[in-house]
Chains A and B, each alone.
Chain A
């Protein structure tokens, strides 16, 4: 990937009330070190706040970090709003405590990639670099 290409812009977001942000912050630091522009949402964000930040900052990727087990309803809600706002060009990723049986369900909902806790950072970085849609 050449230096003159547009930097990939990623929003790492913590939806809902959960405060476990170690994983999200680790991924944010790794993506930044891999040359991406990273915005970390901070905790306790609503879906609307996440969507608004994604639009205002014109990010390429929205990465949700979810540890509570509520990944399916939260992601469903986000994907609905994404369609409503017409920003389906943004790639949505989910990380956190995700049982493997839920991964196909998340992909059905429209998530591009799922990275449960323990996924090597390099795998997430490569996935984004290879799959992000260039404007």
Chain B
């Protein structure tokens, strides 16, 4: 696999451009390039809102509705998170995106030995329903959707979200949660896995099945090519893995006897925006087309709206640099432009200080304003898919489609995504590519401003979000209080019912909701699963 690079002659003239996914770029493009790839408007593009949706899933794009901005937020205690939510809503943010601390992501209570020093550090600590009651107080859960950045224990957090909504008087049918809930990508990239591959995928199947029946406005899975790309994958690999992972979840639910048309319309994607901008735009357009075709041809999906690749295109974390961090504000603006030119439904932007820490209120606001000014000030809402018809963009979109299919073929030839993840084949592919990129940066083949070119300039210490030991202690104290006040017999009863249901292979969701309502802790519920499922054994790197 290639690293993006520019081949130059002795006069600094570019003689070849090669993108990360392996596409060679020519000095200029003309109608003959479109003829050479057999470009057909109706087949390859079609009007916006028409199959194969290369140009976008909606005929009017941002004219009918600007994108949803969903900056990642969540700090320390549920109280602080609630305050931050309200602040972001008052700034015009239209959806929440909840960050959880690592103990929560890994299913440990705040008073667990494993949680020491991590409580509330990179997001909100959640132990029981009480924490959600505080975090979502006075938030209109019927009006505002919540992204929940949680995977291994997404089933538990989704149950808790339903429990808090019911507690505040909302019908589960009107609430809209988007738990990330993509465990295969955690195993390839982000690392917040707990259970082995098969039971972990089964839990995801449970959330999809349950949402279909009880939480119809919830998007139970957000497939994250994002983190796979962050971990090193090329743009083509990012999409290839994301589609195959989504298929693995579809297969789990189909095996339960459901029609794919009944649930797949709620799937969404979280994809990354850093890198060469043309390559990213081609990637998003190709991804929409391939996803629609995959659903139609492989799964026989019938309803057009179920073929939509709906997604959050954003972030760009790996593209940001620690050197000259203020440059990241400009990088973020270009990445956001890529997302807008690619027709993102939802977006969020990594803040300029993310190479150091989670964003400060100041940096998060700069990111939000960056997104807002694209929509409201410089004209990204004017027309749908403004780059359509460009000889260059259409040629590389088609080439990107082929590169993605080649990557999908590699994994399928290996034995499928589940086997590739369980054996570490996928992880090694991504780690190898990360190493190639690093070597490319070091050799100067891959240019990064402030890192290996234009290095002179001011450096700065970024303002760090300090770890608050007092907040952690308060959280542990609040957990103790909940434990004193709750009915221990009700906790024992609901946990026992969860255990039985898990052993019998039933859908665990209703049992989790009961546990949450009884104020069972996250650690107690996860403990039931750990005991029955065991833990994922990470395959070797070499």
Interface residues of A, Cβ cutoff 8 Å to B: 14, 16-22, 25-26, 28-30, 32, 38, 40, 42-44, 46, 68-70, 73-74, 97, 99-101, 116-118, 120-122
Contacts and interface: CB of A to CB of B under 8 A. Distances in A.
Shortest beta-carbon contacts, A-B, top 9? A19-B191, A17-B102, A42-B538, A29-B435, A40-B541, A25-B431, A70-B117, A19-B192, A43-B191
Contacts of B323: 118
Contacts of A26: 431, 434-435, 438
Given A38-B542, A44-B106, A70-B121, A22 B231 contact: yes
27 contacts: A14-B191, A17-B102, A17-B106, A17-B108, A19-B190, A19-B192, A22-B231, A22-B434, A25-B434, A26-B431, A29-B432, A30-B438, A32-B542, A38-B542, A42-B538, A46-B114, A68-B121, A69-B464, A70-B118, A73-B117, A99-B464, A100-B461, A101-B461, A118-B322, A120-B442, A121-B439, A122-B442
Contact of B102 (A18, A101, A116): A18
Given A16-B102, A26-B435, A99-B461, 5 more contacts: A17-B115, A26-B438, A30-B435, A70-B118, A99-B462
Contacts of B192: 17, 19
Nearest to A32: B542
Nearest to A74: B117
Contact of A17 (B118, B232, B321, B462): B118
B232 A22 contact: yes
Interface in B429-473: 431-432, 434-435, 438-439, 442, 451, 461-462, 464, 467
B355 A25 contact: no
Q: Which of A22, A29, A117 has the most CB of B within 10 A?
A: A22
A105 to B, nearest CB: 14
Interface residues of B, number: 42
A30 B541 CA distance: 13
Contacts of B322: 116-118
B397 interface: no
B105 interface: yes
B409 interface: no
B431 A29 contact: yes
B103 interface: yes
A14 B192 CA distance: 13
A28 B118 contact: no
Main secondary structure of the interface of A (DSSP, over half): loop
A119 B365 CA distance: 30
B122 interface: yes
Contacts of B442: 120-122
A21 B121 contact: no
A133 to B, nearest CB: 25
B478 interface: no
A23 B96 CA distance: 30
Contact of B542 (A16, A22, A40, A101): A40
B186 interface: yes
B355 A70 contact: no
B357 interface: yes
Interface in B144-203: 186, 190-193
B356 interface: yes
A47 B467 CA distance: 21
Interface string B294-316: 00000000000000000000000
Contacts of A101: 461
Nearest to A122: B442
Contacts of A116: 322
A69 B114 contact: no
A118 B321 CA distance: 8
B272 to A, nearest CB: 13
B279 interface: no
A31 B323 CA distance: 24
A42 B357 CA distance: 23
Contacts of B431: 22, 25-26, 29
A25 B435 contact: yes
B230 interface: yes
A120 B540 CA distance: 25
Contact of A121 (B186, B438, B451, B538): B438
Contacts of A29: 431-432, 435, 541
